Structure 1
């Protein structure tokens, strides 16, 4: 069936197009988007025969969207509709070989004529890109050699897996990268109903995270890698290619993983940014993909203090700074550094500085006046 992507930030226009397609009995499968960037993502993940787009839209206008579409699929038919009767828009639309530039409100007759012309064009020339895509879809998951199928059930969403992979690379966690990257690949190993275009898009997103983590690779290597992903014909070839990059990053992390400092530094940075939150050992361990017991032991060995004492030290230093430099109420300061119980806060503050917050404030102000 012929497919069409309709892009307009006014959802009412979608209803108009749907009505006209039905009225004139155009047997076309339609998808909808309300902004240019969302539509761009759909074009990356799917192949459409027709793009019907507004010109002025949020994030990415229809002319740029049409250029992107033509670069990916030169045989896609373009039809613009817009409320702007602007010669420059029309001129650029024609340069993209658009069928028509229909002004809103859409004239039913003009729409019908434009659609008939588009369908005639598709019928005459066929769509070699779609035939190629169909062939790829049929052969993409074919195994080149018999393998024992071991089904992997992954409940995590792709965005979550990619975020975990990004976090693992950022903090240098070998174990987390190895686990999440292979979960992502394994999730689609036998998912034969998933479009090969989406798989390529997903693996491109994975390489976007991995390649910058490999020392010495030039910037253009990423573009070459993406081009390679879109030329490989089989899922197994695609997996082998991506696995090379996973292995390279894992090797880098393994070299750096000889010391636990990467995890400790990340925990310290996290505490300094989130000292006002209700921090727990489990929460901090989750940040660096370590067990709570192991993190607690390594933190003490590396820093010479426990996690609880370090968190308390960071909070009280910040409290002392706020007490010294502001006129905020002590209760407000207590809350802002992570101690909702002001009495408990004052007890800890007194233990740390040998005086209450009020006396600390008075004393520092007196010293400042005497110094002046």
Structure 2
């Protein structure tokens, strides 16, 4: 319903027009004003579509009012009525783009015709605005997709050296880019991606780009003219972590990538982050890690000794000797860096690991176990103790049983792949799958990446995308039904994931399929 403002200094005239609108049952919401100044205040404070005004009024006449309205609110339709049929009035009305000029006494047919022309003009302007908004939204979405594609190309190492101007990630190439990988469990970004991005814009005071990688991971590209200090990067990571916990009650893990020199260095920085994801298994779930640090250089402020040793025990229990050796490397780097633990406690810890390993893998006699424990006891340095530990792992790994353990890991991976193939239409999660195969989520994530070279979530996404292509090509199912069929709760997230994989939306893909 359109809103019409009736302006006349005579109350009987104002009420007469308002009653006429009601009597004719016109779909108009009438407001009234007793002079031009009062009318101008209403127009400035409330939405008005049509103004019908007398000419002769005190303080501000109808023509002056029309000129001011046209200047400030050009979309408002103007109708003037007067008892005078003078050329000067008509000429001023034309200059103010008044759409209709009525003579008193107002006749119903002329009044209806004037109102119809005004409402038609309002509808046409509304349609124009809607088309303009649709074009702008289409342009915005197109630019957002181009930006997303450029970010994907950057981390995958396929970004062109000189992208088209319309698709550039930024007007000026930043000298330094830091990647922050934010990792959350259980479909966090499927449910909260847009709101999470809005939260980041509220909390972070540095320019950044954002890319959702999958349901569990998103990347921040922090842009700055010079590399940021470690303290600044840690503060940014802690801000993201604390804000996520505050708003969603959700803990996150964050990996801070090495500084990339411009967008062409992003791929290398991202590869460093991916390599550290395997290392992350041995850390606390909420750890903030820095990808450029090697074991021997890392400051383990966020790492607890118990967490590392527990993960080593876990690897030993699942006969993952390579993973256990990896954990031993980290353990000794931790011990060397902190220097907080006595040699007696350190040897006790190593004896516990050695005992678990030998009992499980070789079923050695008590004499053999005691021999190794004696060597640990007689070791004179941290370096000697580390070499002894790694040597035992190498010995066990070289035995004939190692192949069986590798085959066991392969069987677990194949079991998981079969489960995904059969249940891709369900709510699959890292935690749910881990429960089915009797592994912890962190170990399952680590093991799957170690054995297949890709994360479990990425593998699930790829299976679903392959199934989506088949459904789009071979069925007439609606996009929203395909989304549900593939186990996605959020159709917008499904469309975004599909576009990341194939460069077009599901609807466009279907149109192009013969």
Please report the TM-score for the alignment, with normalisation by the length of structure 1. 0.34
Please report the TM-score for the alignment, with normalisation by the length of structure 2. 0.25
Q: Which has the larger radius of gyration?
A: 2
Which has the bigger relative contact order, CA under 8 A and spacing at least 6? 1
